[in-house]
Structure 1
Amino acid sequence: MIDRVLRSISFIFHPLIMPLLGVVFYFAKSPRFIPIEIIRAKLISLFILTIALPILLYYLLKTLGKVKSIYLESTKERIFPLILNVLVILLVLQRIVKPSQFIELYYFFVGILISTLACLFLAFFKFKTSIHMIAISGVFMFFIALSIHFNININGTLALMSIITGAVATSRLHLNAHTYKELIIGCFIGLFPQLVLVNYWL
């Protein structure tokens, strides 16, 4: 039973959904007026680019024999998906979240880009950091920054995010997907770029 729950946590809080979760939270909490049509267009575009497209690219890579499973168990398997993800994020920055429109989201995705590049760099050196922890810790830091930026009380959300972050880490350990070191480094890679980039928009 516990094994099934922890396995489900890894799927529910998959790294692919984390960027969209951050954007949804931003639009939900932003005090400025944003037309619903723009919000809908941005969310649909981001869903296509950050979730649907990576899934299609994964199946393409699997067909080509570049990856064996969705778990990307080896560092070698991670290289092509991470490179493609870098290109997707660059496309998002160029077309979807320009700094003149949504500076908070722009730097959120710049942080995601830096984290992805760091993960790719480590993969080249045969180190397998936790992408789950990179994603969840990056979004967690973004939530904290938004609460300060918009001067809103989201203590309940932050407490829930703490629990989720712990649950994701526990899940990855239980499934023997990562070591403590890989989880800690993943958390740092996800959190640190968002923390540094806060200086440009907070």
Structure 2
Amino acid sequence: MPLFGVVYYFSISPRYFPEEIIQAKFVALFILTIILPLLLYLILKLIGIVNTVNLETTKERIYPLLLNSVVVIIVLKKILTPSQSPELYFFFVGILISNIACLLLAVMKFKASIHMIAITGVFMFFIALSIHFSINLNDTLIFMAVSTGAVATSRLHLKAHSYIELIIGSFIGLIPQLILVTYWL
């Protein structure tokens, strides 16, 4: 979802970014947000820390969430700057806050829906982009609303989460993005 947010940002932003900068950021973020987490998951699976990609227990979630927090910190320190693209920088700060909140809940034996955290965070980011750039993104926002409902429904249908885990996950994704929007909107 973070990479989806970045691609969408660069596709709708009225700001000028050299094509080389966009490509460099995209490649770096693809490696750090897709490839590296997959490799880290495989390592965690090989050493027996996680059993499935579903991370069904709160104990299984701790190391992946901790490692993901480190990855997001690397993105914030090495790839994104608040001066070049404050929207993306604070989007990733919100992702980090959501990730840490989910990690703390996992340590306290509560399993918030990471799917809902991700989709509601991106949804809020898109709403803020629409306001910030004063552009009509209604089609995208409708798509995101339907997608959010579909994700929630699928998590319930698969019996992966309870209603409260979905609601808490939604708030963990939404609230940091909503608070941080004041720094760039």
Task: Report the TM-score when normalising by structure 2.
Answer: 0.99
1:48 counterpart letter in structure 2 = I
C-alpha separation in 2, matches of 1:131 and 1:198: 21
Residues 139-174 of structure 1: per-residue CA shift (max 9 Å, x gap): 000000000000000111100100000000001000
C-alpha separation in 1, matches of 2:4 and 2:172: 19
Aligned to 1:162: 145
Report SS of the residue matched to 2:149: helix
2:37 counterpart letter in structure 1 = P
Question: What are the residue-to-residue correspondences of 1:107-126 with 2, within 5 Å?
Answer: 107-126=90-109
Question: What are the residue-to-residue correspondences of 1:59-98 with 2, within 5 Å?
Answer: 59-98=42-81
C-alpha separation in 2, matches of 1:73 and 1:101: 39
Runs of 4+ in 1 over 2 A off after TM superposition: none
Question: What are the residue-to-residue correspondences of 1:1-202 with 2, within 5 Å?
Answer: 18-202=1-185
Cα distance, 1:101 vs structure 2: 1.0
C-alpha separation in 2, matches of 1:33 and 1:23: 15
Percent of aligned pairs with the same amino acid: 68
Higher relative contact order (CA 8 A, sep 6+): 1
C-alpha separation in 2, matches of 1:162 and 1:132: 14
C-alpha separation in 1, matches of 2:83 and 2:135: 23
C-alpha separation in 2, matches of 1:56 and 1:83: 15
Residues 90-134 of structure 1: per-residue CA shift (max 9 Å, x gap): 000001111121111000000000000000000001000000000
Report SS of the residue matched to 1:132: helix
Report SS of the residue matched to 1:55: helix
Cα distance, 1:32 vs structure 2: 0.9
Q: Which sections of structure 2, spanning at least 5 residues, go unmatched?
A: none
1:172 counterpart letter in structure 2 = R
C-alpha separation in 2, matches of 1:198 and 1:96: 20
Report SS of the residue matched to 2:27: helix
Task: Report the TM-score when normalising by structure 1.
Answer: 0.91
Report SS of the residue matched to 1:59: helix
2:31 counterpart letter in structure 1 = I
Q: Which sections of structure 1, spanning at least 5 residues, go unmatched?
A: 1-17
1:37 counterpart letter in structure 2 = E
C-alpha separation in 1, matches of 2:73 and 2:15: 26
